[in-house]
Amino acid sequence: MENKIRTMELKSIVSISKLSAKDLFRKLSVVKNFEKIMPNNISKFDVLNSDSFIFGIKGMPTFQLKIIEKIESEKIILKSLESKIDFYLEGNIKELNDKNTQFYIEFKGQLNPMMEIMVKTPLQTFINDLSKNIVNLK
């Protein structure tokens, strides 16, 4: 097996929030609110500044994420910092009506094939949990 770095892309399940796209976008623009959508097995969550935080999940290393791009009421993109895995999480927001908004997360990361095999399932579970937990933002 060749050890060449390649892009791995994953997409979470689609969830429905009871917030408008504008309200959901505002909530996700505040990094401390990401703690509310983290999986139950979180072991650490610290806000570093207004656009970045660090988190850990039991049995995995900690990750630092920074909001690098915001598209009003449509998208928030986070990038990993100081990590063994270079990746992006893209939160996609689509308003269905003024009280229901569709939300899903895309993961895009640079991994070698061996690492991809090891992390694909836990990462899929993680982004699915983030998407499902969007209902915790009220």
In this prediction, residue 28 carries a pLDDT of 97
Taking the mean position of all CA atoms in its chain, how far away is CA 25? 13
Band (2; pLDDT cuts 50, 70, 90): low
Q: pTM for the complete prediction?
A: 0.91
Choice among 34-38, 81-85, 93-97 with the minimum mean pLDDT: 81-85
Strands (E), the chain: 6-11, 15-17, 42-49, 52-57, 63-71, 75-81, 86-97, 100-111
Mean pLDDT value across residues 106-128: 92
- Asked if the model's pLDDT at residue 42 lies above 60, the reply is yes
Q: Can you tell me whether residue 24 is helix, strand or coil?
A: helix
Architecture of domain 6-136: 2-Layer Sandwich (3.30)
What distance in Å separates the CA atoms of residue 90 and residue 12, rounded to the nearest whole number?
10
- Asked if the model's pLDDT at residue 1 lies above 60, the reply is no
- Give the pLDDT confidence of 45-62 residue by residue, as tens digits: 999 999 999 999 887 788
Percentage of the chain lying above the pLDDT 70 cut: 98
